[in-house]
Amino acid sequence: MSLNVVILAAGQGKRMRSDTPKVLHPLAGRPLLDHVLGAAQVLEPDSICVVYGHGGEAVRDALAAQAGPSVSWVKQEPQLGTGHAVMQAAPHLRDGASTLVLYGDVPLTRVETLQRLIAAAGDGLGVLTVTLADASGYGRIVRDARGQVQRIVEQKDASEAEREIREVNTGIMVIPTAKLKGWLGRLSNNNAQGEYYLTDIVAVAVEEGLPIATAQPEAEWETLGVNSRAQLAELERIHQREVALRLLEDGVTLADPARIDVRGSLMAGRDCSIDVNCVFEGEVTLGDKVSIGPNCVLRNVRIASGTRVEAFCHMEDAEVGANCRIGPYARLRPAAVLAEDVHIGNFVEVKKSDIGVGSKANHLAYIGDTTIGRNVNVGAGTITCNYDGVNKHRTIIEDDVFIGSDTQLVAPVRVGRGATLGAGTTLTKDAPPDQLTLSRAKQISVTGWQRPVKGGKKG
């Protein structure tokens, strides 16, 4: 079935009390509009048209590049209602297809729900409805005695009897495009809001005898929109709850499903465990039996099987091998690559470095722009001095090296295989393999030296 998609994203969102356009506010780390675009693209339509307004070019500029050239962007100015918004998109819609109308501030509608609506509509008109215990504020679905949809009436225009109806319009519709273009010209703004309602085409379709189908989502929250920060926070927790449930169903142990945030994608193997207050951003992959301690933040990270990450670790754009031990309080920065059985301990920072099998940096170290071989021990307080104030330089540490505590390696420098660096060494030249290298000031003791004492108080 040929399909056009129109996404209405022009709303101002006054209740957000923000200079940021409403559809650019993030949910699970992505703009609201990006969620809707993503669902639309899964449907593989012939065209997608985004109608933007409030915030002007900021909306288009924020998402146009990642949305791709197949998405058209049309500005609605002034903003005179949903019908008027679709009028702006009409020139971009193919007549031989149906048009699916979505909303940039309704981010959680499942693709399966949209597919069910499209299938129910066929060549006719389809409306996604939902039955609410409290329908206040929503347009009501008015049916005849046979249960056929007759029209949609907005809350402000509804009679007392119509306000008792609990089946409401979500705004999401599928419409034959050729019919849609003709009906748009017949819309009137003679209503309480002075706007052109897209929902008025339902009554026109009934007059012409076009069949009107309805479908409902599996969950009410699929149709919830965002008009305030409170509603945004509510949808965030709904989304995170659904993510947590999927992880649990996949065999992941969550210490508390209410205290995890996934702001991207999280793929976890068998028997993984995640403690409380962890945040996963971008694309994160955990191998089998990976354990993540509390209060960790992982962004674009791959961790192989059997690795344990202790509390309060931060990782970004890093890759960790199997059976490693990380933290607590460790930081892996971009381009940190750890092989198997590596130990990175408390208050150790690794950036743009490769660390070989079985190597350890257990305490208070900075490793930057460094290649470390196998079975290397990096002592506490060790620093690779990689930056000369202008350029970065690389440090090479070969296999089986022992680096004593409080050592500074001033790059570019190489430490040969099997070398030992004595504690307190400042290394400015290459250290030969299998030798002890150290640099220290001579230790002296001063006879007769007296420790200063505080002077008496002056009167």
pLDDT tens, 389-413? Answer: 999 999 999 999 999 999 999 999 9
Average pLDDT, the chain: 94
Residue 108 lies in a domain: yes
Is residue 442 in some structural domain?
Answer: no
Report the pLDDT value the prediction gives residue 71, as an integer from 0 to 100. Answer: 94
Q: Which residues contact 124 (CB under 8 A, 6 or more apart)?
A: 176, 205, 210, 211, 212, 213
257-296 per-position pLDDT tens digit: 999 999 999 999 999 999 999 999 999 999 999 999 999 9
Does 446 map to a domain? no
Rounded to whole angstroms, how far apart are CA atoms 431 and 421?
Answer: 8
Cis peptide preceding 328, ω within 30 of 0: yes
Q: How far apart are CA 262 and CA 266, in angstroms?
A: 7
36 shares its domain with 52: yes
Count, residues in the chain: 459
**Over residues 306-316, mean pLDDT:** 98
Same domain, 215 and 313: no
Both 348 and 334 in one domain: the answer is yes
Among the candidates 173, 194, 223, a domain finishes at 223
Q: Is the pLDDT of residue 363 over 90?
A: yes
State the virtual CA torsion across 270, 264, 116, 177 in degrees, nearest 10: -160
Residue 280: strand pairing partners: 262, 298
**Residue 319, token pair as written in the block:** 């890759």
Q: How wide is the angle at C-alpha 110 spanned by C-alphas 173 and 297, nearest 5°?
A: 140
Contact 21, 55 (CB under 8 A): yes
Q: Are residues 40 and 168 in the same domain?
A: yes
User: pLDDT category, 66, cuts 50, 70, 90?
Assistant: confident
Residues 257 and 184 in one domain: no
Residue 450: alpha-carbon gap to chain centroid: 62
∠382-384-389 over CA atoms, to 5°? 135
Domain with 419 in it:
229-437
Give the whole-angstrom CA distance, residue 387 versus residue 390. 7
Residue 449 within a domain = no
Q: Please report whether residue 384 resides in a domain.
A: yes
Answer yes or no: do 177 and 277 share one domain: no
Question: Do residue 180 and residue 313 come from a single domain?
Answer: no
> Over 206-272, what HEC string results?
HHCCCCEEEECCCCHHHHCCCCCHHHHHHHHHHHHHHHHHHHHHCCCEECCCCCEEEEEEEEECCCC
Which residues are catalytic, by number?
363
Is there a domain that residue 340 lies in?
A: yes
CA separation for the pair 121, 125 (Å, rounded): 5
**Burial class of residue 231, CB neighbours in 10 A (0-12, 13-18, 19+):** middle
Q: Are residues 151 and 255 in the same domain?
A: no
Q: Please indicate, yes or no, whether residues 136 and 171 belong to a single structural domain of this protein.
A: yes
- In this structure, the answer to whether residues 74 and 159 fall within a common structural domain is yes
- Give the CATH number of the domain where residue 131 resides: 3.90.550.10
Q: How many domains does the chain have?
A: 2
Within this chain, do residues 331 and 420 fall inside the same structural domain, yes or no?
yes
* Residues 238 and 202 placed together within one structural domain of the fold: no
Q: State the helix-helix crossing angle for 177-184 and 82-89, rounded to 10 degrees.
A: 120
- Give the mean model confidence (pLDDT) for residues 33-38: 96
Checking if the pLDDT of 143 tops 80, the result is yes
Q: What is the CATH number of the domain that holds 307?
A: 2.160.10.10
Highest mean pLDDT: which of 55-69, 134-148, 290-304? 290-304
